[in-house]
Structure formats: structure tokens, C-alpha cells
């Protein structure tokens, strides 16, 4: 492996097979980007909002390694395979990749499942008027292998129902789903964190045969190593990358009551009254699915007028009892409801003809307006 580019913003190393770019966001946060036969992307990330470059780093080399270091962090890159080892300012090794390199990309083609009247499929044949697979673009599957310390514990990856704390020796699939929240990030008891900049399906795997993160679809393998020494400092680095998180109101840290769903306004008020009668603290009650008008209204962001005839009075009754209300809203809408019709008319739906396209600012504005008009105008809080 040899030097391709070395400037104040980043270092690019490579060989005939791959290219590796190393940059710093701060003295404690390194960005690692790995690709094969494509140029590096310098475009906007959906996860990382901080695009600053930290330029006060030193770059040197020995017979076997390249060394990139700041006052807080040192990266040692093997010249033979590009394996990276991470050290703190005192020379303590925090994390390493296996000697064979640890970063792998496998080319593949992405196909989108779409609803079209007529579309060309992968076999160049017309298919039925409803569903077909459209070729999208060439991408990679990615694999990042890691070598953890024997006594190290790691935590993170979001909220999952298995109830794991320490993720060592565990396997976890990261995808967004009901009762499942995926965050491609973990922290270590050795005082560092790793954030994978990827929005596709991810698998974390750790057992006696090896440890790795696998990503289904990436344009390049892109991740951040965050050093802090303590969890609070690592978390500060995470927010440095992804943006400031506002503090919840005090009542949101109290007890929240939720069940599969409540049928109507009277049932919710009765439940709150029973909590108050028993002297059990309660700060918020959740109104889950099927709050929308009965019939074909899945995802409609307004209340059923039969079961919730006077939303303002209903909400005032809860507020007088010092309880807040939270309503579940959905990104998908059933065909025929008013919210869906508006989205469809404006071409704001994804190809499943149900889910709004949150990547389009105008679609987000439309979704917010629907929520504001259908719920918040009734003092829904």
C-alpha cells in the first residue's frame, strides 16, 4: 500500500485493489472511508451533520506502517493489508482490525420494488401493471472486522427486545421496525465508540469465530472512531457528529402508560382516574394505533370523530389531571384516506405507494402540515 494523496484535510492510501481515506473531525474523532473501484463520495450524509475537517494532525511512516496522529489519538495502518490499530495519547491500544485488513467490499446491484403501470425489469421484459423490480444502481455489501479486548464490554446499537446489555458474544440485526430502533453505533468500556455511517440493514456479530459489522448496501464503507476516555465524552463526540439533542421536558422522564390501544376518549380518562385514585404516579398516557377514523384510514393523522367527538375537551380533561397525551403516528397511509390522497397527488410517496418520502423536504413539510392540522390544532400535547 502506498500514499495516493496527503494534504491538510485527509490522507488517502491505496493499492491496485482498494483505497483508504483517513480524516479527522476533531482531535478525538477519526473518519475512515474505504472503497474499491469507485471515487470517494464527498456528499451529504443522512446521519452525520458535522462536515468539518480537523487539520492539526501528523502523518509519518515506518517500514511497515503509516502513522496518523493528533494530540488525542493515534492510528497505525499496516502497509501490507491496510489494517488499522487505534491508540490513545499514552500508547494504549483501544481497538484493532485483524492483520488481513478487516475491511471488505463485495459488489452487487440494487433493485427497487416499485408500482408502475409499465416498467422494464431486470430481464428487460414488461411485467404486471402493479409490481416489478427496477434496477437502481451498483453498490457494495460491506464488512468491517474488529478485534476486541478479552475483558472489554460494548453497549449500543439502539433499542431491541432481546434485553441485552453488554453486546459481547451476541448477534444483533439493525433495522427499523415496530418495537425495534436501530442505531449503527456502539460504545466500549475502553473509552471509545464506533459510528457506522450506513442507512441499510446492518448485522453485528461477535463470537469465538470473530467480530464484525456487516452492511447490506453501501456506496463505500464509511465509519467514525470516537475517543473520549469516558462514556460521557464519547457521547459528546457522537453528538458532535450527529447534532445537538434537545432535552426532553421534565414530565417525559416520569411514568408512561401504554397498551396495545385504547378504544375511545372515555376509556383513556377512566384509566387516568384509576391511576390517580390508587395514588400511582402517571405523567403521560399513549394513544396507539387505530385512533384514526374507522374504515380505510390507516395512518390518517386525525382522530375518529365517533370515538373522540370533542378532542379539545378530552385533552383538557387530561391536562386538568396533570397528564399528557402522546399519539402514535405512522409514515405509511392506506390508499383512499385523505392524507394518502394528498401525498399521492403531490408525488410524495415511495414506490410502495404507501410510505411518504421523508428524504424530500416538501414531503416532510406536507407530513408536518397534516399532523399539525389533524392533531396539534386540537391542543394535542
Distance CA 38, CA 109 (A): 14
pLDDT at position 192 is 98
Which residue ranges does the chain devote to CATH 2.60.40.1760? 2-106+139-242
Distance CA 130, CA 190 (A): 52
Which residue ranges does the chain devote to CATH 3.20.20.80? 250-378
CATH superfamily of 250-378: Glycosidases (3.20.20.80)
pLDDT at position 123 is 47
Q: pLDDT digit of tens for each residue in the chain (381 aa)?
A: 899 999 999 999 999 899 999 999 999 999 999 999 778 887 778 899 988 889 999 999 999 999 999 999 999 999 999 999 999 999 999 999 999 999 999 999 998 777 665 444 444 444 444 667 788 889 999 999 999 999 999 999 999 988 899 999 999 999 988 889 999 999 999 999 999 999 999 999 999 989 999 999 999 999 999 999 999 999 999 999 999 888 999 999 999 999 999 999 999 999 999 999 999 999 999 999 889 998 768 999 999 999 999 999 999 999 999 999 999 999 999 988 999 999 999 999 998 889 999 989 999 999 999 999 998 875 565
Residue 31 in contact with residue 40, Cβ under 8 Å?
Answer: no
pLDDT at position 378 is 58
What DSSP element (H or E) covers 93? strand 93-96
Task: Give the Cβ contact number of residue 376 at 10 Å.
Answer: 12
Residue 176 in contact with residue 199, Cβ under 8 Å?
Answer: no
- Which residue stretches of the chain are H helix? 231-242, 265-278, 311-320, 338-345, 361-374
Q: Which CATH architecture has domain 2-106+139-242?
A: Sandwich (2.60)
Q: According to the 3-state scheme, what is the secondary structure of 293-353?
A: CCCCCCCCCCCCCCCCCCHHHHHHHHHHCCCEEEECCCCECCCCCHHHHHHHHCCCECCCC
In eight-state DSSP terms, residue 230 is S
Amino acid at each position: 500500500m502506498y500514499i495516493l494523496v496527503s494534504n491538510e484535510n485527509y490522507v488517502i492510501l491505496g493499492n491496485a485493489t482498494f483505497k483508504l481515506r483517513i480524516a479527522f473531525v476533531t482531535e478525538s474523532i477519526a473518519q475512515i472511508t474505504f472503497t474499491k473501484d469507485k471515487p470517494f463520495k464527498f456528499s451529504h450524509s443522512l446521519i452525520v451533520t458535522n462536515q468539518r475537517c480537523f487539520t492539526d494532525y501528523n502523518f509519518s511512516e515506518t517500514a511497515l506502517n503509516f502513522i496518523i496522529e493528533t494530540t488525542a489519538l493515534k492510528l497505525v495502518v499496516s502497509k501490507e493489508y491496510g489494517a488499522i490499530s487505534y491508540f490513545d495519547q499514552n500508547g494504549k491500544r483501544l481497538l484493532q482490525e485483524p492483520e488481513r485488513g478487516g475491511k471488505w467490499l463485495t459488489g452487487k446491484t440494487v433493485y427497487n420494488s416499485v408500482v408502475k403501470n409499465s416498467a422494464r425489469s431486470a430481464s428487460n421484459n414488461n411485467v404486471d401493471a402493479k409490481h416489478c423490480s427496477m434496477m437502481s444502481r451498483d453498490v457494495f455489501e460491506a464488512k468491517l472486522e474488529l478485534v476486541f479486548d478479552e475483558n472489554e464490554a460494548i453497549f449500543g446499537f439502539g433499542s431491541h427486545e432481546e434485553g441485552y446489555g453488554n453486546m459481547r458474544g451476541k448477534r444483533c440485526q439493525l433495522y427499523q421496525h415496530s418495537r425495534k430502533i436501530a442505531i449503527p453505533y456502539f460504545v466500549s468500556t475502553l473509552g471509545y465508540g464506533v459510528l457506522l455511517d450506513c442507512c441499510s440493514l446492518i448485522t453485528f456479530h461477535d463470537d469465538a469465530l470473530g467480530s464484525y459489522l456487516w452492511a447490506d448496501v453501501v456506496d463505500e464503507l464509511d465509519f467514525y472512531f470516537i475517543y473520549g476516555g469516558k462514556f460521557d465524552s464519547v457521547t459528546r463526540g457522537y453528538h458532535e457528529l450527529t447534532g445537538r439533542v434537545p432535552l426532553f421536558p421534565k414530565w417525559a422522564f416520569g411514568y408512561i402508560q401504554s397498551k396495545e390501544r385504547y378504544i375511545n376518549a372515555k376509556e383513556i380518562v377512566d384509566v387516568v382516574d384509576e391511576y390517580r385514585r390508587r395514588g400511582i404516579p402517571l405523567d403521560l398516557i399513549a394513544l396507539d394505533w387505530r385512533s384514526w377514523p374507522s374504515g380505510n384510514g390507516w395512518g390518517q393523522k386525525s382522530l375518529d370523530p365517533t370515538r373522540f367527538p370533542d378532542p379539545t375537551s378530552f385533552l383538557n380533561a387530561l391536562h386538568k389531571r396533570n397528564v399528557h397525551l402522546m399519539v402514535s403516528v405512522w409514515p405509511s397511509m392506506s390508499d383512499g384516506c385523505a392524507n394518502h390522497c394528498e401525498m399521492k397527488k403531490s408525488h410524495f410517496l415511495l414506490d410502495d405507494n404507501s410510505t411518504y418520502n421523508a428524504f424530500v423536504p416538501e414531503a416532510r413539510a406536507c407530513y408536518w402540515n397534516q399532523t399539525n392540522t389533524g392533531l396539534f390544532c386540537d391542543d394535542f400535547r
